[in-house]
Amino acid sequence: MKSIYRALFTFALLASTVVARPSPHDVFNDLMAPEAPLKRSAQASLKQVSDFGANTSKVKMYIYVPDKLADKPPIIVAIHYCTGTASGYYSGSPYAKLADQKGFVVIYPESPYSGTCWDVSSKASLTHNGGGNSNSIANMVTYALDKYKGDPTKVFVTGSSSGAMMTNVMAATYPEMFAAAIVYSGTAAGCFYSTSGGADQWNNSCANGQARGTPQVWAKMVFDMYPNYEGARPKMQIYHGSSDSTLAPANYNETIKEWCGVFGYDYTKPDSTKANSPASRYTTYSWGDRLVGIYAQGVGHTVPIRGADDMAYFGL
């Protein structure tokens, strides 16, 4: 595994540098509100769970369970951005309200670090069962599936900004766990890897869009996060804005290249291109039945969450 990490960072000129974290930003989707206004349950609330399993990286687990829980409920993992919190993402994203309507469980992990970005840089977090943040979040899913008799074929993950980076990492390190992932303005899995081995390290080269690799190089990085795994992988939907000044738009291209490499698609030849979809100045590109890229012209950091569209992609 060390060789591919070294090769990627030699090729892409990645140099990890700790800098100030991005400022808070709104993530609520005003564009795709459900047709009928949804009211939050008077009884259900966000609750912390402290005994969900091994948690060497000290990630906090919060969970929202609606009063009317579906039989074998689906589970959505919703991962906050830098400077965010579980309660902030619970309040500022549409997933809890949609859970009231559809009966699924929502897990809101919370970063343990100052600035509350996610560790998408250490080998521990970039390795299946490596003991990092990804391992802790996977253990939250296992806990919820057991406690609420969840449907293991309907587990999904999504996130914004740093949470979007972790979404890509979760799809790479625990592909057997998730049916689909939606990434709102992130970077390719492994792009923030720290050559010094540091956890929760900011990487200027990646953030600025200077980390470039071939689909094969990116894909090998994903494969090395879970060596010898040959099973199914989640389908992926990638959003990014053309005016993103926090995580440069080039990161959209690299993320698409990464998953095209994983799935065996030619990133230069999408099967379909739809202008002004799902909204004006958004363009949707599709590769096979496993990968969708949505590029939003004039949109900054981050692309707003599209709750109803997310439900459709997840099949809920």
Of 164, 167, 104, the closest CA to residue 311 belongs to: 104
Amino acid found at 35? E
Query: Which of 93, 136, 161, 194 does the annotation list as catalytic?
Result: 161
Rounded to whole angstroms, the Cα distance separating 244 from 82 reads 15
Instruction: Write the CB contacts of 280 (distance below 8 Å, at least 6 apart in sequence).
Output: none
Structure tokens at 88: 């902030």
Closest CA to 28 of 104, 88, 101: 88
Rounded CA-CA distance 78/316 in Å is 15
The one-letter amino acid at 202: W
* Cα 15 to Cα 288: distance, rounded to the nearest angstrom: 34
Identity (one letter) of the amino acid at 274?
K
- CA angle (152 as vertex; 185, 95 as ends), nearest 5: 40
49 SS3 class: strand
Q: Is 161 marked active-site? A: yes
- Active site amino acids: 161
